[in-house]
Amino acid sequence: MTSETPKAQKATEATETTEARILARLSREADELGRQHAEELQRLDETRGARRALELLGQAGLAAWMVPRVHGGADAGPLCPPETISVRAACVLRQSLAYHSAMLDVMLVMQGLGSLALARSAGPALARQWLGPVARAEACAAFALTEPGAGSSLTDVALRARRHGDAWSLNGHKTFISNAGVADFYSVLARTAEEPRAFSMFCVPANAPGLRTERFEVLGPHPIGDVYFEDVRVPDSSRLGAEGAGLELALAVLARMRTSVAAAANGFARRACDESRRHLSTREQFGKPLSAFQGLSFDVAEMDTRLRAAELLVDEAALVVDRGGEGTLEVARAKLFATENAGWVCDRAVQHFGGLGVKRGSAVEALYRDVRALRIYEGSSEVQKLILAKELFRRST
């Protein structure tokens, strides 16, 4: 039973209806963009594909959803406060885009990951310089946390920032940085003192003297590589937030965006499930469609059921975070289950296609590669299990 008055209940229902309409519209727009341009993007190399994808996201107005309204981003209405971005919107967009194009998906989310620290903590001039262009897809963002010796444990970050009057010099090496060599600026986590948690974040323009990038290839093609900082100088006004508060800021950005990784996993998995259904319905062996074999048809039934469970976990986590909750359990559950499940679904799809499933260029072969990294980045599956176990036992005492 509800404790709301009839008037309050009607207001709540109206808000929920408005939210549903916004999310449905975003899903349609992202789906249309992906269907129209996925093949075009597949024909381009990583750099041109990334830039074209970002251009398309800007033209469609979807990049604006990665920037808060108060900084020139999309008007999320009742989905979230104007000072932040809607996790539900990000999830809807990522699931729809990932269904069609991994490049559209990654270029969308990097606009959020790379700029959200600025939206939360940049000074007014710095925010004006970058956030409007990010929302319009006129500037490309990147998020530089990982180092050769610092992956899941960000307290091991070694890149050093030293103060020189009203400026800082940065020296060190970041790796596995999406948009390396394509980004216009990097949000960088750096150590500012020898104390264990003495970190600050900085906004570093890509054209800063002493900054260079080297690209490498990964399973799911997109711009990624190493970023080297050799006495890179930035003014103190490029520091994001208070000195020493960088680790908390980086973790807050990850916490805001993590549920959307699960949504992208669901997009990849839903496409794999659909590809399997189509193939099993039309491919004949032993005189009948493969779908007539119970073992294979049961596979599709389980794929769909597990995928729907993953979608509901994402819906739950995104709603909690949008409404101001920490969502520690909900987000970890969604990230763990959706990404692990997507790996399983895509693997089954490859199996259904047989030899065609491992042929370079087939849809399920690409999905198999694209989905693998999701179990690793923004909190590996093992880290999600640690979070869940810690929180569950904390609540039981």
Catalytic residues: 378
Report helix, strand or coil for 380.
Answer: coil
Q: Which amino acid is at 134?
A: V
CA–CA distances in Å: residue 214 to residues 181, 182, 184, 203, 287: 7, 11, 15, 19, 53
Q: Is 362 left (phi over 0), alpha (psi -120 to 50) or beta?
A: beta
CB atoms within 10 A of CB 231: 11
CB atoms within 10 A of CB 382: 12
Q: Which amino acid is at 290?
A: L
Contact between residue 309 and residue 337 where contact means Cβ atoms under 8 Å apart:
yes
Residue 284's DSSP bridge partners are 289
Name the token pair of 258: 């993590």
**Burial of 246 from C-beta contacts in 10 A (0-12 / 13-18 / 19+):** buried
Contact between residue 378 and residue 257 where contact means Cβ atoms under 8 Å apart:
yes
Question: Which is nearest to 110 in space by CA: 93, 88, 128, 129?
Answer: 93
